[in-house]
């Protein structure tokens, strides 16, 4: 990528007049590894500790007096229960893994081990495969109760690795197993991680990224190094300069105003809500929407929405996530990069929007924009607008479809609209397959599509349009969302 040398030279003269603090030491790649920070400090979000995912919900406890290394820790007592955190990794990358474990003096371990483990995988669930695993620490009944033990190891990611998984778990060794174990201060540091200079993932390398690089100048940082595992220095700066691209935008005339790249360890609740229930949602759907981490979670830089069968006491569960009352937008290019689920009879994933005033004037007068819908065999993608009057109720719509000549669930694709005051255009990757300027509402045109709209992502199971699952429909169904981005015209 080209950069403007004269502009950059002046920038560096100013920047190098600054004083940078010097600090040595790698950074923990885990979010909330000490179980004390995060959105919900030391407690639980939807049954799990913040920043982590887990299984067997009855195995969690955030603290016990005398059994936390610092203010908070994590306790597990149910058999074969654990928590997990996933980070990106690459083959040949060396990791230092460490953590502390203890078990209770009265609820002692019996026929059970407590384990700190790292696993290397070549992809996310459900398609990824386990390549290697190392038990960094094993706490057994032979260890002394009430004593903190520190475990550590250095491991190298094998060929094909794309992610590493840190796991704290209890494993039954046979017979009646009891006892409560605790973990604290879990750390994962990379000795030779190489990063992208586009630290904020906005598709350009600019002064915002440089601010992050400058903030760790002469530090050893696994999160920001660009030229090797040593301190951030001129070698890293040279790599940064070679990628400098402050004026490069993927869509000429537009600038990125908001995105969720799903790179954080957990779902960002400043952006997203969960809608919960089994109301049929106006379409006689069969799923029960939950906020359970089995139905929505972050993995390998993706938001993953999962529809499951015979789950949590319901015939079908799924997730329906919205940005209502948190993020809304009017006009611009709005897009998401999505790998759709496998499909089958009765499967109906969607990326869509509703008008902010739905709670006051109702549907369809609030307006609905379906950026992406697919049903059943996933060979066609659908675009639609819904509009009309709520009182009296009159529903009207228009839309189109596109057959790209492939199964759209096989890979990621970009689904987008370009929304202007009197026209909306739909895109599948780079193909503009439908456009319309025709709609109406009780208010004057271009209502209702002249107000803020919020996003919705979901997988519906069954409904009036797709019909209902049968024995041929596979479950679970996984929808991977790489990002959601909003671009608007530059002023």
The answer on 89 and 143 residing in a single domain is yes
Tell whether 386 is covered by a domain: yes
The answer on 150 and 221 residing in a single domain is no
CATH code assigned at 343: 2.60.120.200
CATH code assigned at 201: 1.10.1330
Q: Which of 36, 117, 365, 373 is catalytic?
A: 373
Tally of CB atoms within 10 A around 341: 23
Tell whether 116 is covered by a domain: yes
Tell whether 466 is covered by a domain: yes
Tell whether 33 is covered by a domain: no
The answer on 459 and 379 residing in a single domain is yes
The answer on 120 and 226 residing in a single domain is no
The answer on 359 and 241 residing in a single domain is no
The answer on 379 and 275 residing in a single domain is yes
Tell whether 38 is covered by a domain: no
The answer on 320 and 404 residing in a single domain is yes
Q: Which of 190, 206, 222 is the last residue of a domain?
A: 190
The answer on 366 and 290 residing in a single domain is yes
Cβ–Cβ under 8 Å, residues 278 and 288: yes
pLDDT tens digits, 408-462 = 999 999 999 999 999 999 999 989 999 999 999 999 999 999 999 999 999 999 9
Q: Which of 220, 248, 276 is the last residue of a domain?
A: 248
Q: Mean pLDDT for the chain? A: 86
* 373 is annotated as an active-site residue: yes
Q: How many Å apart are CA 315 and CA 349, to the nearest integer?
A: 18
Q: Which of 145, 162, 190 is the last residue of a domain?
A: 190
pLDDT tens digits, 125-177 = 777 899 999 999 999 999 999 999 999 999 999 998 888 999 999 999 988 88
Tell whether 34 is covered by a domain: no
The answer on 425 and 480 residing in a single domain is yes
Number of independent structural domains in the chain: 3
Strand-pair category, 288-289 with 314-318: parallel
Q: Is 176 exposed, middle or buried (0-12, 13-18, 19+ CB in 10 A)?
A: exposed
Tell whether 39 is covered by a domain: no
Joined tokens for residue 154? 């250095």
CATH code assigned at 164: 2.60.120.260
- Among 266, 90, 73, residue whose Cα is nearest residue 183: 73
pLDDT tens digits, 283-340 = 999 999 999 999 999 998 899 999 999 999 999 999 999 999 999 999 999 999 999 9
Cβ–Cβ under 8 Å, residues 99 and 168: yes
Joined tokens for residue 370? 């379906």
Q: Which of 163, 189, 285, 368 is catalytic?
A: 368
The answer on 287 and 386 residing in a single domain is yes
Structural domain of 474:
256-489
pLDDT for residue 178: 87
The answer on 236 and 309 residing in a single domain is no
Rounded to 5 degrees, φ, ψ at 409 are: -85, -5
Q: How many Å apart are CA 384 and CA 428, to the nearest integer?
A: 14
The answer on 468 and 355 residing in a single domain is yes
Rounded to 5 degrees, φ, ψ at 212 are: -70, -40
> 0.85 cut: is pTM over it?
no
Tell whether 331 is covered by a domain: yes
């Amino acid at each position: 990528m080209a950069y403007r040398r004269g502009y950059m030279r002046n920038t560096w003269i100013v920047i190098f007049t600054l004083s940078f603090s010097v600090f040595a030491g790698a950074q923990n790649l885990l979010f909330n590894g000490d179980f004390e920070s995060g959105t919900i400090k030391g407690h639980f979000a939807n049954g799990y500790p913040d920043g982590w995912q887990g299984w067997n919900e009855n195995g969690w406890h955030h603290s016990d007096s005398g059994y936390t290394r610092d203010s908070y820790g994590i306790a597990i007592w149910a058999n074969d229960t654990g928590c997990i955190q996933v980070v990106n990794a690459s083959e040949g990358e060396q990791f230092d893994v460490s953590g502390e474990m203890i078990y209770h003096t009265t609820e002692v371990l019996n026929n059970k081990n407590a384990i700190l483990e790292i696993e290397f995988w070549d992809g996310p669930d459900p398609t990824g495969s386990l390549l290697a695993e190392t038990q960094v620490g094993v706490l057994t009944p032979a260890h002394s109760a009430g004593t903190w033990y520190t475990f550590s190891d250095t491991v190298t990611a094998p060929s094909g690795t794309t992610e590493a998984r840190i796991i704290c778990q209890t494993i039954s060794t046979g017979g009646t197993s009891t006892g409560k174990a605790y973990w604290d201060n879990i750390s994962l540091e990379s000795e030779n991680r190489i990063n992208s200079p586009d630290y904020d993932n906005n598709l350009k390398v600019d002064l915002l990224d440089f601010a992050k690089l400058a903030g760790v100048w002469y530090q050893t940082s696994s999160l920001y190094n660009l030229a090797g595992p040593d301190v951030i220095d001129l070698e890293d700066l040279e790599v940064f300069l070679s990628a400098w691209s402050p004026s490069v935008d993927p869509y000429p005339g537009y600038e990125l105003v908001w995105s969720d790249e799903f790179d954080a360890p957990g779902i960002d609740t400043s952006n997203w809500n969960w809608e919960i229930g089994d109301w049929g949602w106006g379409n006689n759907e069969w799923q029960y929407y939950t906020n359970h981490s089995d139905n929505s979670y972050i993995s390998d830089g993706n938001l993953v929405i999962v529809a499951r069968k015979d789950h949590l006491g319901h015939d079908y569960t799924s997730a329906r996530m919205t940005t209502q009352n948190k993020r809304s937008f009017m006009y611009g290019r709005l897009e998401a990069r999505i790998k759709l689920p496998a499909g089958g009879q009765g499967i109906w994933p969607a990326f869509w929007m509703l008008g902010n005033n739905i709670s006051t004037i109702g549907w369809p007068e609030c307006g609905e924009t379906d950026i992406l819908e697919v049903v059943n065999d996933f060979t066609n993608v659908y675009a639609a607008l819904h509009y009309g009057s709520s009182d009296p109720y009159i529903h009207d719509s228009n839309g189109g479809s596109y057959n790209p000549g492939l199964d759209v669930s096989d890979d990621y694709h970009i689904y987008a609209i370009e929304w202007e005051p009197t026209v909306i255009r739909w895109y599948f990757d780079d193909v503009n397959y439908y456009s319309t300027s025709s709609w109406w509402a009780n208010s004057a045109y271009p209502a209702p599509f002249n107000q803020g709209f919020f996003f919705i992502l979901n997988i519906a199971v069954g409904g009036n349009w797709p019909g209902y699952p049968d024995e041929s429909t596979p479950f679970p169904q996984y929808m991977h969302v790489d990002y959601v981005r909003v671009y608007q015209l530059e002023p």
